[in-house]
Structure 1
Amino acid sequence: MSPADRFALLVEDFGSLEGVVPPGATVGFGSSALRFEGRIFAMLAHDRLVLKLPSSRVASLVADGEGDPFDAGKGRPLKEWLSLSPDSGLSWSELAHEALAFARR
């Protein structure tokens, strides 16, 4: 299954959750992302799932080889953003639920 197809399944799963806004509901930056009350918590970028998680969780996942800090093309890694490795066996749904819980804080 392609990354785009996997992300489409996430959108379908999360689309009915209270406060979650699916891709396409906004314009501009993040228009293709899942949002909670205006805050992006999951998106697909360069065929990789990108999630906003606590910085300690991102550091742990990076240390485990599950992904890299996301840098948004600015050349500076963002501490609370993970770009999940395509080789990761972690569940996209479980990580997206973690990211949603973080967005709800």
Structure 2
Amino acid sequence: MTAATPHEAAESRLHAVAAAFAGRPGVVLPADGPRHFGTATLRLGRTIVAMTPGEHLVVTLPAARVAALVAAGEGAPFPEGRPPMRAWVAITSDDPGVWRDRIAEALTHVGG
């Protein structure tokens, strides 16, 4: 049996963590919606809130929060190696509790 790639492990983690948001109005779980950018996504309506394009969770948050997470070493600019998108951050922790908290923040950010 082949070990999961870092991307596959991240997608699996996103599916598991996203289950905590099942039943929340407007939330489209990764298993229930189409893939975007070649990866699993969590959406609020039609808006992507979280995704796993590599080995990290990437979420949309206010630019000031993204900057704070990067400055604290809790996140990395996204995308890596290109001019970063101000409202997106790659979460460097693979702790499911951290992922759940950042997804909750992102849902609040997108949902107003």
TM range (shorter): 0.7 to 0.9
Would you say 1:25 and 2:33 are equivalent positions? yes
| Residue in structure 1 matched with residue 50 of structure 2 by the alignment | 42
Would you say 1:75 and 2:82 are equivalent positions? yes
Give the residue type in structure 1 aligned to 2:67.
Answer: A
Distance (whole Å) between structure 1 residues aligned to residue 15 and residue 96 of structure 2: 18
Deviation per CA, 1:38-57: give whole Å up to 9, x if none: 00111112110000000000
Q: Is the 8 A contact 2:77 2:90 kept in 1?
A: yes
Say which SS state the counterpart of residue 76 (structure 1) adopts: coil
Unaligned residue ranges in structure 1 (runs of 5+): none
Which among 54, 61, 64 is matched to residue 62 of structure 2? 54
Per-residue deviation at 1:86? 3.7
Give the residue type in structure 2 aligned to 1:85.
Answer: T
Distance 1:78 1:88, change over 3 A: farther
Work out the number of aligned pairs and report it: 103
Distance (whole Å) between structure 1 residues aligned to residue 109 and residue 47 of structure 2: 10
Unaligned residue ranges in structure 2 (runs of 5+): 1-8
Per-residue deviation at 1:3? 2.8
Distance 1:59 1:42, change over 3 A: same
Structure 1 length-normalised TM: 0.82
Which among 6, 9, 14 is matched to residue 16 of structure 2? 9
Per-residue deviation at 1:10? 1.9
Give the residue type in structure 2 aligned to 1:44.
Answer: T
Distance (whole Å) between structure 1 residues aligned to residue 97 and residue 16 of structure 2: 15
Structure 2 length-normalised TM: 0.78
